[in-house]
């Protein structure tokens, strides 16, 4: 409501004394004062132009209880009452029911009533029944205003409270002592109402919220003391002009606020709500969340009055900004880390997704975060077929035991091809039964390549690329264990020694000798089957494990190697180098106590071959 009443409001404005009583009233002076205070309190509490009591027909001797009820207004109210009774068909029944008319001018029946009764600008009427303890109707508590409006559920409850207090006061008996007791009770209830109003004001003030009331037609806006204090102003330091309020808005927010307000005025939104910056008395800006609603419109739907609240949300905005900056920082950090930082969620039914994935997912899986946010099937499709079972089993075990997840696995990517990945994460169980991992996946392809090379170096002879002595002996040990455990299959050990190798080194040099060793190793590889193992035992000595071969079969292989070796002499700068090889064979036995025993037996066979003239095959 504006500070200066409009002509329409002036017609309903109460004089200094808010309650007047006719002759014959059953109330003493103290009761008059209480009614007077109650009328003023009700008018102020509901922010209406006038509050008064309309006595019922059953109440004899009472006239109007209320100030500012002149003859024209009284006739208008009586006509409203008569119209209401005619519509209901039962005056007593209707008097016991609340009557709230949000806009008298919006209904043809009430318009006709007003035209017959008065030309006063009466638009809003709320009549709440007053009843005795025995249920007799005493009349109605009326709220009147020249502008249309609505009552909220909370306001209706408050109006009911007022009605009970006033009904008790109007129905007070003639006994002065009882009247005094009733007056005391009413004062207590009145004090309770005032206290509730005071506590409500304190609660609003303590919440950092201010209240405003805008008269759209006149361009005036009233602010509560708390609203002004929120911005550092005293009561007399803020004008009621809407233009001045716009001056306090941050220039970057002005158009947005006005557009949002306009949309609500035009009925395109149910309520007005906007966050904006507003300038304080000291020149600084606060973030404000303003909410409001049009509570009165004219016949054409144009907004007349709007009320709302403003809440200081500066601290929340600052906290949100700090959180946003933290999220940006963490996101930037994770996106810069080589590899994939992720959050993986596995539902109780096994459905898996990656709600968070850093930008590294593009390098690790050639996917985007959006492609895995709801379903991880795209990742599963990239896992190497030989590793997918282990991949799934590792997550299942981690979910079951809440043990850290660790796995090295291969992926097949459209652009990068076959790559190695290592994943590490820690699981947490959520209240809904889901398991969530936070972890990191990195590319370990180069490390795996180096490890493979190191492993090969550890097991392979550097010159011939065959198994070295350590690796060959380990394979021979494994073959003995298998033979003892299962009794088969048969396996033969072949020992080979290049004949006259020392003379080759002396005549042609060590480079040719090394080439001769590589040449023989190549011939061995060409004659090995899947599962056979060849190794360089030392110097010019070689050993071969022939799986599934007895002595006869192994002898055939040995002679074929000798023939191939003889038919393919080594070509050197000084001319062809004729090479021969002596071979000793022995069957691997389950009762051999160690691989060295088996190797020694084959050495015996080899010694016989060399002793017998070289380029021979002997068996032991």
Q: What is the DSSP string of 403-458?
A: PPEEEEEEEEETTTEEEEEEEEEEEEE-TTS-EEEEEEEEE-HHHHHHHHHHHHHH
Whether residue 377 sits in one domain with residue 516: no
Whether residue 269 sits in one domain with residue 358: no
Does some domain include residue 549?
yes
Does some domain include residue 334?
no
Whether residue 121 sits in one domain with residue 239: no
Q: Per-block average pLDDT, block size 10, for the chain (620 residues)? A: 40 38 43 74 84 68 54 66 55 60 73 55 82 78 85 84 82 53 60 63 63 90 89 91 92 94 93 93 93 89 90 83 72 74 94 93 94 95 96 95 95 95 95 94 91 83 90 91 80 92 86 90 87 90 91 91 87 78 92 90 93 91
Whether residue 601 sits in one domain with residue 516: yes
Which is nearest to 158 in space by CA: 38, 13, 18?
38
Predicted confidence at residue 199, as pLDDT, reads 62
Whether residue 214 sits in one domain with residue 351: no
Predicted confidence at residue 53, as pLDDT, reads 82
- Considering 276, 299, 317, which residue would you say is the last residue of a domain? 317
Whether residue 603 sits in one domain with residue 478: yes
- Tokens 């985007």 locate to 368
What whole-number distance in Å separates Cα of residue 131 and Cα of residue 128?
Answer: 10
Alpha helices per DSSP H over 176-218: 176-206
Number of Cα atoms under 13 Å in the Cβ half of residue 574: 9
Predicted confidence at residue 294, as pLDDT, reads 92
What whole-number distance in Å separates Cα of residue 223 and Cα of residue 218?
Answer: 15
Predicted confidence at residue 3, as pLDDT, reads 40
Q: Domain range for residue 513? A: 460-619
What whole-number distance in Å separates Cα of residue 107 and Cα of residue 151?
Answer: 18
Q: What is the DSSP string of 593-605?
A: SSHHHHHHHHHHH
- Considering 203, 233, 256, which residue would you say is the last residue of a domain? 203
Whether residue 226 sits in one domain with residue 185: no
208 Rama sector, left if φ>0, alpha if ψ -120 to 50, beta otherwise: left
- Quote the distance between the C-alpha of residue 339 and its chain's center: 24
What whole-number distance in Å separates Cα of residue 136 and Cα of residue 171?
Answer: 10
Q: How many CB atoms lie within 10 A of CB 372?
A: 22
Does some domain include residue 324?
no
Whether residue 217 sits in one domain with residue 194: no
Q: What's the token pair of residue 299?
A: 């016949």
Does some domain include residue 387?
yes
Number of domains in the chain: 4
Read off the CATH number of the domain in which 528 is found.
3.30.70.270
Does some domain include residue 173?
yes
Whether residue 475 sits in one domain with residue 544: yes
Does some domain include residue 338?
no
Q: State the first-to-last Cα distance of the chain, in angstroms, to the nearest integer.
A: 120
Read off the CATH number of the domain in which 421 is found.
3.30.450.20
Whether residue 495 sits in one domain with residue 426: no
Does some domain include residue 2?
no
- Considering 418, 448, 478, which residue would you say is the last residue of a domain? 448
Buried b (16+ CB within 10 A) or exposed e, 68-92: bbeeebbebbebbbebbbeeeeebe
Identify whether the C-beta of residue 537 lies closer than 8 Å to the C-beta of residue 548: no
Whether residue 214 sits in one domain with residue 151: no
Fill in the DSSP letter of residue 236: G
Read off the CATH number of the domain in which 102 is found.
3.30.450.40
Whether residue 259 sits in one domain with residue 194: no
Predicted confidence at residue 14, as pLDDT, reads 42
Does some domain include residue 325?
no
């Amino acid at each position: 409501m504006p500070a200066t009443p409009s002509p329409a409001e002036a017609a309903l404005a109460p004089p200094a004394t808010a309650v007047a009583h006719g002759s014959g009233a059953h109330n003493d002076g103290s009761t008059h004062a209480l009614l007077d205070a109650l009328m003023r309190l009700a008018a102020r509490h509901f922010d209406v132009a006038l509050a008064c009591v309309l006595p019922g027909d059953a109440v004899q001797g009472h006239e109007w209880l209320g100030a500012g009820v002149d003859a024209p207004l009284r006739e208008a109210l009586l006509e409203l009452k008569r119209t209401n009774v005619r519509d209901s068909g039962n005056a007593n029944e209707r008097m016991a029911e609340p009557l709230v008319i949000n806009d008298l001018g919006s209904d043809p029946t009430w318009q006709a009533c007003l035209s017959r009764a008065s030309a006063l600008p009466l638009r809003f009427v709320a009549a709440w029944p007053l009843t005795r303890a025995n249920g007799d109707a005493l009349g109605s508590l009326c709220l009147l205003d020249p502008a249309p409006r609505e009552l909220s559920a909370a306001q209706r409850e408050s109006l009911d409270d007022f009605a009970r207090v006033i009904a008790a006061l109007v129905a007070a008996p003639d006994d002065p002592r009882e009247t005094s007791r009733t007056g005391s009770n009413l004062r207590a209830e009145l004090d309770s109402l005032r206290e509730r109003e005071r506590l409500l004001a304190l609660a609003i003030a303590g919440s950092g919220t201010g209240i405003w009331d805008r008269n759209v037609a006149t361009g005036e806006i009233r602010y509560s003391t708390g609203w002004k204090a929120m911005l550092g102003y005293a009561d007399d330091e803020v004008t009621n002009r809407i233009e001045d309020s716009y001056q306090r808005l941050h220039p970057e927010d002005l158009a947005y606020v006005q557009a949002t307000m306009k949309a609500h005025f035009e009925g395109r939104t149910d309520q007005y709500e906007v966050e904006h910056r507003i300038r304080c008395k000291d020149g600084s800006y606060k973030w404000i969340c303003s909410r409001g609603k049009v509570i009165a419109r004219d016949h054409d739907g144009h907004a007349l009055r709007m009320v709302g609240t403003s809440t200081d949300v500066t601290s929340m905005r600052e906290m949100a900004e700090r959180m946003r900056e933290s999220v940006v920082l963490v996101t930037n950090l994770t996106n810069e880390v080589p590899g994939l930082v992720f959050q993986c969620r596995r539902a109780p039914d096994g459905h898996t997704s990656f709600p968070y994935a850093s930008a590294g997912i593009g390098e690790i899986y050639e996917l985007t975060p959006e492609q895995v946010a709801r379903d991880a099937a795209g990742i599963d499709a990239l896992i190497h077929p030989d590793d997918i079972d282990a991949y799934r089993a590792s997550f299942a075990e981690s979910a079951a035991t809440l043990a850290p997840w660790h796995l090295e696995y291969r992926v097949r990517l459209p652009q990068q091809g076959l790559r190695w990945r290592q994943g590490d994460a820690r699981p947490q169980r959520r209240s809904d039964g889901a398991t969530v991992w936070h972890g990191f996946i990195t590319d370990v392809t180069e490390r795996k390549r180096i490890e493979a090379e190191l492993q090969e170096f550890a097991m392979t002879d550097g010159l011939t690329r065959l198994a070295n002595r350590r690796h060959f002996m380990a394979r021979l040990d494994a073959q003995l264990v298998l033979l003892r455990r299962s009794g088969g299959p048969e396996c033969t050990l072949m020992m080979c020694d290049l004949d006259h190798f020392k003379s080759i080194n002396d005549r042609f040099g060590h480079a040719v000798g090394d080439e001769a060793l590589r040449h023989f190793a190549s011939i061995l590889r060409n004659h090995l089957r899947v599962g056979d193992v060849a190794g360089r035992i030392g110097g010019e000595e070689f050993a071969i494990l022939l799986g599934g071969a007895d002595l006869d079969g192994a002898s055939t292989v040995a002679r074929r190697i000798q023939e191939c070796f003889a038919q393919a002499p080594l070509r050197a700068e000084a001319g062809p180098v004729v090479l021969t090889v002596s071979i000793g064979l022995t069957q691997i036995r389950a009762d051999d106590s160690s691989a060295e025993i088996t190797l020694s037996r084959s050495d015996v066979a080899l010694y016989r071959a060399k002793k017998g003239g070289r380029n021979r095959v002997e068996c032991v």
